[in-house]
Amino acid sequence: MSQTKSQRAARKSPSSFVDATDLLAELAADPEIAELAAVERAKMRAADRVHAMSLAMIRNAAHLTQTELAQTLGVSQVAIAKTEKRPDMLLSTLNSYLSAAGARAVILVELQDGTVAQIALDQAVEEQSR
């Protein structure tokens, strides 16, 4: 049985560069593999949607209106609306919002050596304010 160019390239030693473009094209052309890949992509998109929860969704899950959350934080409803639409904010702002909604954030940080550190946002913010 003769091997394709991409199959031969894939067998090269790990220390040499392998351009897998041809191999990937061959695999994608196989209807069975393409179908499996499409199923996995759909699963990944669904998982992304589950984890992409907005601040408004967190507030709603806590059964709070913007006005109620604003009163807890001592700010205006407009300030809450603006916060929920921000693409970026200070960690202390995020921590205050989550705390007022009865939530708590935990950040996982993976270091270069593969070690995973867990940081509780409320504790990190508290340490920074000392």
Phi first, then psi, for residue 62 (nearest 5°) are: -85, 0
Q: Does residue 36 lie within any of the structural domains? A: yes
What is the length of the chain?
A: 130
Q: Does residue 82 lie within any of the structural domains? A: no
Q: What is the DSSP letter of 76?
A: -
Per the DSSP assignment, residues forming a β-bridge with 109 are 117
Q: Does residue 77 lie within any of the structural domains? A: no
Q: Does residue 111 lie within any of the structural domains? A: no
List, for residues 64-123, the tens digit of each pLDDT value.
Answer: 999 999 999 999 999 999 998 888 889 899 999 999 999 999 888 888 888 888 989 888
Residue type, 61: A
Per the DSSP assignment, residues forming a β-bridge with 58 are none
Domain containing 34 equals 18-52
Helix spans in the chain (H): 5-10, 21-29, 31-51, 55-61, 66-73, 77-85, 91-100, 121-128
- Whole-prediction pTM: 0.56
Query: Is 81:69 a contact under the CB 8 Å cutoff?
Result: no
- Taken in order 89, 91, 93, 97, the sign of the CA dihedral is positive
Query: Is 74:100 a contact under the CB 8 Å cutoff?
Result: no
Q: Does residue 125 lie within any of the structural domains? A: no
Query: Is 60:101 a contact under the CB 8 Å cutoff?
Result: no
Q: Does residue 61 lie within any of the structural domains? A: no
| Domains identified in the chain, total number | 1
Q: Does residue 5 lie within any of the structural domains? A: no
List, for residues 3-59, the tens digit of each pLDDT value.
Answer: 665 555 555 555 567 788 888 888 888 899 888 888 888 888 777 665 556 899 999
Structure tokens at 16: 């040499």
Q: Does residue 128 lie within any of the structural domains? A: no
